[in-house]
C-alpha cells in the first residue's frame, strides 16, 4: 500500500496562481488560529481537497517564508502584547522566497480584534531603511526608523488554501524556527507543530471550523513574534505566554484522539 505523503495529498487539490490569489487579499480581516501536531496535517488536508484551491508558485505548493521583526530597543511592541493591550502593532520585513518578493509590513490590531495590514514592496529584503521605508513607518506607526531595530528572525514553510468561492483564505505554517538577532539564540520548538490560520472578513463562519473541531484541533491565539521572542530571550517577562508554551508542549506530546 502506497504511503500517503504531504505532497501526494496536496496534489489532489486544484491549484490557484499567485495572481489569482490577489483577489482574496483580505488586508482588513479577522484571524482565527489553531495549533496541532504536524502528523495530523495530512488527515486535515485530505478532507479539504474538494472545496479548496491550493496556491502554487513555480510548481511548488509549499512556499518558504522568511521574516524579520523590528521593535524598539526596549521591545515596546512585545510588551504591548505581554500586557494584553487590545490595540497593538507589529512591524516586519517579510520575504516570500519562492516568488522572490519582499515587503515592509505593519500589522495593526484594533480594539475589536480586527487585523488591518499595510505594506509596501521592497526591491530587496535588506533595503527597508530607504526614503520610502522611512516614510511608510512614520505614516503607519507612532515610531520612526531611528526608534526601531531588528529583533527576531523566523523561517517557516506555508501552504495557502482558498475556498472555491474565494471568500476565505486558510494558511498552514510548518517547520517554524527562530533566531534572535540581539541574543543570537536559536530555537526550533515550533518545528513539531503546525499553525492553521483562517483569514476572513468576519461576515461568515468558515466551514473548515467544523472539520477542525471534528479532528480535535484546538483554537489558540499565538503570535510567532512573541513566542519566538520568549523562546530566544531569557530576560523577557512572559507571564501571559506561559499557558501558551505549556499548551504547545502538551500538543507536541499528545495524540489527536486523546
CA neighbours closer than 13 Å in the CB half-sphere of residue 7? 4
CA separation for the pair 249, 213 (Å, rounded): 20
pLDDT of 205 strictly over 80: no
Work out the average pLDDT over 44-59: 91
Q: Give the domains, in start order, of the chain with CATH numbers.
A: 6-252 (2.40.320.10)
Cα 31 to its chain centre, rounded Å, is 10
pLDDT of 44 strictly over 50: yes
CB 227 within 8 A of CB 251: no
Work out the average pLDDT over 212-239: 90
Q: Please list the residues that pair with 198 across neighbouring strands.
A: 32, 170
pLDDT of 257 strictly over 50: no
**What 3-state DSSP class applies to 127?**
coil
Asked whether the whole model's pTM tops 0.85, one would answer yes
Q: Give the per-residue pLDDT at 255.
A: 43
Chain segment 67-110, per-residue pLDDT in tens: 999 999 999 999 999 998 888 999 999 999 988 899 999 998 88
Helix-helix angle 242-252:224-232, to 10 degrees: 90
CA separation for the pair 74, 53 (Å, rounded): 42
Amino acid at each position: 500500500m502506497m504511503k500517503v505523503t504531504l505532497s501526494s495529498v496536496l496534489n489532489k487539490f486544484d491549484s490557484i496562481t499567485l495572481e489569482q490569489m490577489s483577489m482574496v487579499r483580505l488586508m482588513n480581516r479577522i484571524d482565527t488560529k489553531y495549533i496541532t501536531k504536524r502528523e495530523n496535517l495530512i488527515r486535515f488536508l485530505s478532507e479539504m481537497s474538494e472545496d479548496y484551491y491550493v496556491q502554487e508558485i513555480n510548481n511548488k505548493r509549499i512556499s518558504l517564508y522568511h521574516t524579520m521583526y523590528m521593535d524598539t530597543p526596549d521591545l515596546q511592541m512585545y510588551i504591548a502584547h505581554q500586557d494584553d493591550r487590545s490595540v497593538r502593532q507589529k512591524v516586519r520585513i517579510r520575504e516570500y522566497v519562492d516568488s522572490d518578493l519582499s515587503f515592509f509590513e505593519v500589522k495593526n490590531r484594533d480594539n475589536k480584534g480586527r487585523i488591518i495590514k499595510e505594506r509596501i514592496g521592497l526591491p530587496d529584503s535588506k533595503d527597508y531603511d530607504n526614503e520610502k521605508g522611512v516614510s511608510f513607518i512614520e505614516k503607519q506607526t507612532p515610531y520612526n526608523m531611528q526608534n526601531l531595530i531588528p529583533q527576531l528572525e523566523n523561517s517557516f514553510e506555508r501552504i495557502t488554501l482558498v475556498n472555491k468561492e474565494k471568500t476565505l483564505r486558510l494558511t498552514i505554517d510548518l517547520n517554524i524556527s527562530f533566531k534572535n538577532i540581539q541574543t543570537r539564540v536559536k530555537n526550533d520548538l515550533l518545528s513539531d507543530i503546525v499553525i492553521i490560520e483562517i483569514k476572513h472578513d468576519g461576515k461568515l463562519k468558515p466551514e473548515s471550523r467544523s472539520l477542525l473541531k471534528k479532528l480535535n484541533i484546538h483554537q489558540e491565539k499565538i503570535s510567532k513574534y512573541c513566542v519566538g521572542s520568549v523562546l530566544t530571550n531569557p530576560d523577557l517577562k512572559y507571564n501571559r505566554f506561559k499557558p501558551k508554551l505549556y499548551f504547545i508542549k502538551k500538543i507536541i506530546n499528545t495524540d489527536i484522539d486523546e
